[in-house]
Structures are given as C-alpha cells and as structure tokens.
Structure 1
Amino acid sequence: MKYNRFLLLLICNLVIAISIYGQKTVYYPSKVVKAQYFRKTLPLREMKVILPGDRDRSWKDGIIRNEENIKSANIKDDDVLYPGEDPVLQDYDGLVLHRGPILNFDGVGNVNGVIPPDTDGDVGPDHYFQMINLSFAIWDKEGNKLFGPVDNSTLWNGFIGPWTGTNDGDPIVLYDEMADRWLASQFAIFTSSGTFWQLIAISETGDPLGAYYQYAFEFPTFNDYPKFGIWPDAYYASFNMFGEYNRAATAAFDRDRMLEGDPDARMVLFDLPPGSDPFSMLPSDFDGTPPPQGTPNYFVYFNDDAWGYSADQLRIWEFRVDWNEPAASTFTESIILQTEPFKSQLCDAPRWQCIPQPNTELKLEAISDRLMYRLQYRNFGEYAVMVTNHTVNVNNTGIAGIRWYELRDYLDGNGWSIYQQSTYSPDDNSRWMGSIAMNGNGTIALGYSISSDTICPSIRYTGRSPEAPLGEMNYTEIEVISGLGSQGTYHRWGDYSMMSVDPVDDSTFWYTQEYSIGGWKTRICSFNFGPIIPPTVNVGPDTTICINEAFFRDPIAENFKNVFWTTSGDGFFQNPKRLKAAYLRGQEDINNGSVDLTLSVYGYLPGQTASDQLTLYIDSLPFADAGNDTIICTYNQYTLHGTAGNYSSVLWGTTGDGIFNDATLLNATYIPGTADTANGFVELFLTAYSLACEDSSISTMTLWFDPCFGIDEYDPASVRIRIFPNPNSGVFDLEVANIESKQLEIRMLNTKGQIIFNQLLTNFTGQFSKQFDMNLLEKGVYYIQIRVDGYSSTRKLIIR
C-alpha cells in the first residue's frame, strides 16, 4: 500500500514536471463579457448616503464570508525540506533610528457590527480614502475627515440590479496614479437572483468626492477574496472561486473605457479549471513610473512543499490582455522561483487559529496560506521590482513571523529572480497580516499586526534602507498604536491590510491596519524614515470644564515615540500614555477651582523630551438670588436687588406683562404691566448661567402691588405697625405700638375697598396686639388700615 501511494505521488509529480518544465501552461479566456450594468452618479458629496449600522446579517452572523484555501486545508505531509531553523531569519531589531509617524489617527470603526474589517486604503494627491467592511470614509492629508463613514453601498446607491440592497464586503480601493482617478470595488454575492457580481466604481475625476461611473460584472460562481492591481492596459484582479469545485480566477477590466465612462467596458475572465495549481494569487499593482510598454501584468502566489510540491516556491504567471482581440488574451505560467525553506502552518487548529492574545484562550487566525496584499511593482528603468510577503512559522516554534521578498527583473530577457528574502521576527511575539511597499528611493516599509500572551493585538512597522545588507530590515521597529484588549468571541482577523506610497513625493508611506481594544478598530498612519527630529508638543490653551465633565484634549505633537500625562491635583487620566487622554477631576481639583495638567513627549533618542502645560479650570455650579418678596405701590417702578455667583451672565424674566430696562443687569428696574397690577402681584425670576457649561441657577421673588389708598396717608414717626407672617395662610398677628390717641380704628379691606373687619378703640394708649384668623377668606390681596386721630396708614396683607 505504501508502495502504491509513493508511485502515485511520483506519477503526479512527473505530470506536473512535464507541464511546467516541458511546456509552460497557457490558458485562454473562459469568458469575455461587457459590463451588464452601467450608470453615472451625482457627485458623492451630493449623493444620498446610506448610513452605517447593523443590518440583518443572520446569514453570516456578522462574519464576512471567506472560504478556505483547499491546499492548506488538506495538508498531507510535513515540510520535507524545512530545516527547523529558518536560514534567512532576522531575529533582531534594526539599529537605525528614525522619526516615526507623521500622522497617526483612527480610521473607520466597526460601525456595521461585522468581523473582520478587511482594512484597505490608498493615498492620492490630496486625499486618503479608507474602505473596510462595510463602510468607507475620506480624509484630507492633514487627517481631517471630509466624508463618512457611510456604507460602501453608497457608491452604488441608485444602481439598480440583483445586488440592490446588498453590502457584502471584501472591499478594495486604489488610486490610479496615471489617470488621477480612484477605483473602489466590492463583491455582491447574496443577491436577489442568486447570482454573483463584482461592483466597481471609477471616479470621474481625481476628486474622490465627485461623480463616479458604476459598473457591474457577473461571475459564474462565488467570486471570493477579490484583489486588484492597476496596470496601464487594464485593471487586473484575482479571485478564489467557490462552487461545485474550488479554483482560482483572474480578470482584466477594460481600464480605458471605464475611465471614459463607456457603458461597453469589457471583462476578460480566466476561470481556471479544477485541479489547476494557482490559488490565492495577487495581481501586480504598480507605483511610480509605469512598466515598459507591452509588459504583462504579473500574478504571484506561493506553494509550501508540505502541500505536495518539490520545494517551497513562488510562482509567477503573466496576464496579457488583447483588447483588439480579447479571445486571444493569455494567462501563462512564467517561472517558478525556489525560495529559502519556510513552514506556513503555524499550528493544527482549523482556519489557522494560532495567534495568542493576553488573558484568553481564543486565538486569532493567521491566514498563513497566501501572500498578503499588495504585490507592488516598480520600474526603476534598468530593472523592475516586485515586493510581497506572507506569514510563516518561525523555526517551527508556533510564533508567526513575516517572510518578505524583493523580486527583480533586469529587463534582459531572463525574467524574474529573488533578489533578497528574509523572515522578520525580532522577538517571541507573533507578527502577521503584513503589507509591504517600496518607495521611489528604494526604501522598503513593512507593516503588520503583532500579538502575544502579553501584547494585545497592536500595529507596528519596520523598514529597510537601500544600502542595508540584503535581507535586513535595518530600521528600528515602530509602534503605531498599542492594543488595549484581546478580541473575544471570534477568531477572524484581517483579512488584509495595505501599505501605500504618497504619489506626490513618492517617498512617504501610508499604512492602514486593525488593532484591538476588546473589539477591532482601524488606524491610519503616514511616515517616512527621515532623520530623527526632537519631539515637540502643544497642548493648547487653558480651558474650563463643568464640574461634572471629563476633560478631553487632542494635543499637537510630532516626532515622539511615547507620551505621558501628569496632574498637579488628585484627579486621574484614564490612559496617561495616550496622546488623546481623558482626565477625571478629583475633589481637591474642585475645591481649588483649577488643576495643572502636563503632557510630556519622549523622542526616539535617549534624553529627547518636550513638555507643555495647561491650566484646567473647574467651573463650580452658578447660583442666583432674586431677593426678598416686596410690596410696592401700584404703578410704581421697582429697582431689583439680585445677586449671583460663578456665572458668566444673568437674565431676568417675568411671569407677567411688565418689562425690564435691561434684563441682563442684577439691579435691573422692573416696570409693571397692566396685567401685573390687575393680578395684584407678579413673579420675577433671575437666571445665572455657568461660565463654561450648560448649568444654570434660577431664583424667584414676588412683587406685590399696594394701591396706597387715600390722600390722608400718614404714618406718625412714633407709631409702629407690624403684620406677621405676611404673606400667610389667613392666620396672622397685628401689632400697633407707641399709640397716644383718643381714638384708634383698625380696618381690613378687600381690593374693592369693602370693609371686611372694623374695630374702634377710644382713649387708647400704649400697644395694641391681636391675632386674627381669616382663613375662611378667599386667597388674595387684602389691606390693613390703621386710623389714628383722623390720619391713616395702610399695609398690604397677602393670604395664600
């Protein structure tokens, strides 16, 4: 039985050797079709957007569907050539220091409640465009958000077809440098007709907020894991196709016609037959100088010898499209490049669930069976370059590292070769989900995810200068952002990230990747490997917060590696090691009314430190006092005596129809209205507004109106009249003192002048005191009139 299996394996390898080395495999198109649907949109800034949010995603539990690579899912043999130790391992960090990120800010978050994000983005002359599952946003190159986040389906809103209502994911966005246009795409697989589509939007101009040409191309089965590359003669793409059998597909889209908004734009599709070797390929995507005229687009993938191959290898295919005779287009195997040995399988768990995290048994997927996006191409005139990477098992330890390659074609007819290769793994942490690119100076940047039992999923990058020894990332590793929590519930991570190069200077790198704070978030950063500049920081002006508020500030800092916030008070920062930290004030801060906060930033060299300080004022609650209730003669004006504290402004108000001479003054004058005097009273309220907050304090006083009856009003200086309490519920005490009279008369009147009570005393001297019980009277205004020797004095009585 062992002999038969060995013979079968030998025969299979012989067949492969004949097809590969005897004659190159050539495929011809399986389909040439026009776009089934086309439409031009309004400018994006004017379009009706579809706001992100959770949808009915019961068909995938919020998980973006991706099938497994049939090769890695059916590993039969060990890595027969793997030596146990990686012969090109870089197990140390680079020593060349550099300035670190220029911009560093959060991208689109998980606003649709899905996993994974499939983080992708590209940079143009004036914009950065990020597109993830299942939303996108656009920033200027200062990091200011101009648009979004909105659902990706916004780009195809109003584009009616079987995909209407879908927003299925696996997005790609690329900037077409030659044409100054943007390409955005995602698949539509859960359609009303059960058909499968690739939706593509091409911007009409270089403005990503402008109008788009919408295209839809139908596929024979599920077109999974689409990856695009820009080339002068076409937009090229690769797919993993799933249906009755699994296989790969490649396609060329009619770039010239799509740029013109031609509804007859075509697609040349190679739906490779079952049993064919290519799977999870990447098309080449050029930056900078275009490739020489007539250069085919290159598709690359790797094979692990554990999958039944004679050696670990990169395989390169050539896609030559002929738009004059599309059926004559070819997809041809070009060359097999044997790599230094590697092992792609990290562990025995399904779907590569091998990446550890702190404080959880749940491990993340490594997706170590394929090259990571992009396959970047550059033309340097004398030679061409492609750079790519994938995840490997470092020295069979289960630690994930990144194997990266620089391929070169010296344009002399001998084709591609491996110029340099290395596995980057400077410590015992796992690095995976990489993206690599080279700028116009020949500098390489490699970004990736990092995680371990002690490091939550975070983002870092490293790089290589052109003069560095081959296979060495000689720049020190930089942390873009540190994760704050492990991902729970789901194993999915990725499925890709993207490193791009600024087309303006052809030097600055832009990178987007995900990290974890317990759930995933995305980050965008720009950087170059320029010389180290001392750090600078500006925390901004002093400010005031409300007593119940937390303090947030987004300082401006540059050229720093780490930061730390400190306080002179008893409050605390939620995360003092974050540039944008939140401060929660303490009781001592409140008592003092202010606290000094200091931000220190630390550069990339020892001793490089800068700091800046601000004073945070704690706004105490305002208070207001409108003064005591007061009685005035009817139709008289009244000068108020309000007081307030901890306020920025005050404002008087009235329940009646009177007016203030200036309602913003504490000592404003109130001029009663006719309704006020008719009612006999009016309530006036004073509002004090906080210095910096929405808090306010309101106090109310009542102004009563006394008609002041009679022309004989007289109050001898020696006579004292007291009513208490007043106002009252009908029970009150009346005191009249210092009386020297032959006759004392006490009257109680209503507002109509009718006498309700009357008492006459003759030959009375000294003090009169009596308690009255008038609680049977209606509530309202009454008057107590004291008549002494023909003169009278009136006091207002209020029964509530």
Structure 2
Amino acid sequence: TITASVNLAADQNSANNSLSATVPIAAKPANPAGQGVVCGTNVILSALNQTTANYFWYTNNTSTTPIAAGANVQTSTITTDRTYYLATDARTTVGAASKLTYAGGSYFAGNAVMKISHTAPITIETARFYTGNSGQIKLTLADNYTPGTSGSFSYRPISSTTIDLFPSNTNGTTTNDPSDSGFVYNLNMRVNGSGDKIIIGELLNGATMFRNNGITGTTYPQGSSSIMAFTGNSASLSGGTENQFYYFFYDTRVSTGCASDRVAVVATANSGVSLSQVGDSLVSSLRTGVYQWVFNDTATILGANGSSIKPSRSGNYKVIVTDALGCARTSSNVNYTVTALNTVSPAEIKLSVSPNPNNGVFQLSFETSTRSDLSIDILNAAGTRVYTNTQSGFIGRYSKLINLENKSSDFYLLKIQHDKKTYLQKILIQR
C-alpha cells in the first residue's frame, strides 16, 4: 500500500490530506540452476530445467553487464575459480552515462535517429534527458530502417509515445553546461522480439535537447551486447560521421523483466581423455558420455560407441568422448597390435550354428571340458563387433538363441575364445 499525504498550515479540511493506493506486486521469480564445463579454451554453460525465461550469465554477483545471454551458451571468458552466476532476466544501464561523457555538444532543435540492437524482448524504462527549452519529444520505435537519398530514409513504425519536456538548463546557454544535471523521464517503451531497430526522436513545440557532437574515436556500440546497445545514429544521412554524434539518450535503463537472484554455477575443470590397454581391450579414462572410436586417425569405426573396444586389427586407435554439454574430448592415438590367434577347429567344442544361413536368428551351441573365461564376439565384414558376450570361469554346455534381425544381409564372423584357444565360424545372414 502506498500513501501520499500533505500538511498545510491553514488547512480547512484535514480529512482529505492523504491518498492511499494498494498495488499488487508479483512474487520474485524462482532461482534458476545451471551447469558448466571447461572445454579447451572455452567454457560451456547450460541452464537446468529450462523455461521460456531469458537467461543471463555473469562473471561475478554484482556485475551489471552479462558475458552471455541464453539458456545454452559458450564463452572464452574462463574465470580463475570457474564460477559463473546465472539469473533469469536482467536490468542494466546502457549508452552514455551523461552528457559529460564527451566534451563537446549543444542543445539541439532538430530530429534524430538512434539505432539499437537487442537480443531479447526488453523495456526501455527510463532515460536522462537534458533540455534547454520546454516542449515535447515524440519517440517512434521502428524497424526496416533503410537510408535513402538527400537525407531521407524509410522505416516501418512499431509504436510511438510523446513525452512532455521541462527545461533542465536554467542558465540559457546553448553549449555543454556542466551544471545541467538533466531529468530522468519514464519511457516504458516496450521493444519486442530481437535484432536491429531504430528510435526516431522528433522535437516538438520549440523543445531543444542536448546532444554531443565533435566526438573523436569510436562511439558505438554502447551498451550490452547480451541485452541492448546503441549502435549508431542518423548523422550519416546529412553527410556527418556517426561516431562524432550521440543523441538524447543518457543513463538509459533497460530490462528484460523481473530479475531473479543470481545463482553460482561452478564449471567442471577441463579434463582430457586417455586410453589404457586392459587385456585385449582399449579402455577410455572417461566412463560417461557419447563415444566414437576412430581407426588410424580417419576411419570412424561403425558401431564402436562404448567406453572400451576390442580391436580386431592392428593399427592406431583413438576415442572421441562428447559429454552431456556437448564438449568433445579426443584422446591421443594408441598403437594396438593384434596377437596371433591360436585357432582351433570348431569341431573340438562341437560348435553349432543352426540354421546357417539364417535370417538373423539362430541357435548357438558348444561344449567345453575345462574351466576358463569365455568370450563370444560376432564381427561384421568391416571388423566391427555387432554382438558380444562374456562369462567368467565357464565350463560345460552353452546354448543360446542369438537375435541379429536388425543386422543387414551379409557374412559375419563368429569368434569364440576359451582356454587360450580361438574358434572361428562364418555366419551368413540372408533375407
């Protein structure tokens, strides 16, 4: 509830000295959550449980300028402690802080265009105007700005508002009066969508407003590339240089909505991936992620998408592991030599594949008389495993229905390893 009151010395009716209004206030937005990972020279950041909110990332809890905007972002800014701060929606100040930001300038009676670029729907809440003479300014938001000839331009108007101006320069000077502190005006100009737009300022009824000129150096862009920035003006239409002028909008306050608290997100440290040989397998040091094994640096091994691989031929092997945030890590090559197989006739273990040829479904059976670790692999014509099964300390009769209905018609190689012996059998799938 907001109450305004007055007290007059000779008040004849004190009962009407106050006025109250109850204004509903929305609840503060829920705090977001996020995750991140350092990936090479960049860091990948992602919001969890994403909604339609605008997400902004900061390097500390008090910075007014985000380093990135979006639910999923990547930045080359890596903080010392890998800590970032995430918030939904943001409020910041853009443009020149005051007319004293630049030395030159004067009170101006003409019209001007300021170009803007924004990444999300925003509201231009307030701006500080320095006015010489009272009057009005009509602000028109537009897009499709196209310069023409002889100082003309075309555009598509989106919205407009007219604001009464009151003189802040009481000295009557036309140059840059340092004692003029200006007035802050409520604009509440809604700018939907994103991209490039313009704001046309038309001074009416004798109004004059301060603008800087004679600026040296690079003036634009001014603001936040993650929210909104002033990117230029219309000075070039009359033969001027845009960087030499800055019009009207000082200490401009913009927001994307009601901001949440900022939440710390600590990115996981950059960790590489290495390979080690365990028995007849190569094993990745990273045990989670999406895997792709590569042979001799260039050949992607079809179907080799696990954390380990049993190479079927000699050569160089490496693995690419992509985590949930999209960070891909590549191991160094490891040279693997396939040792000679002690191949024994399948008849020794009464090996049976029935039927063969088949449609991808067949009964596999065999018998062993000694106890040893058992490994069963089926390889396609490219040497990629399409089926594998292992058992520790196996002895006795093995019988199992194998289903490879999802495999294409072709020759396959069945390889059974037991008691330091290898048994091979060709299988033909045809449909």
User: Which range, TM-score by smaller chain?
Assistant: under 0.3
Greater per-residue strand proportion: 2
With normalisation by structure 1, the TM-score equals 0.15
Q: Which has the higher contact order (CA 8 A, sep 6+)?
A: 2
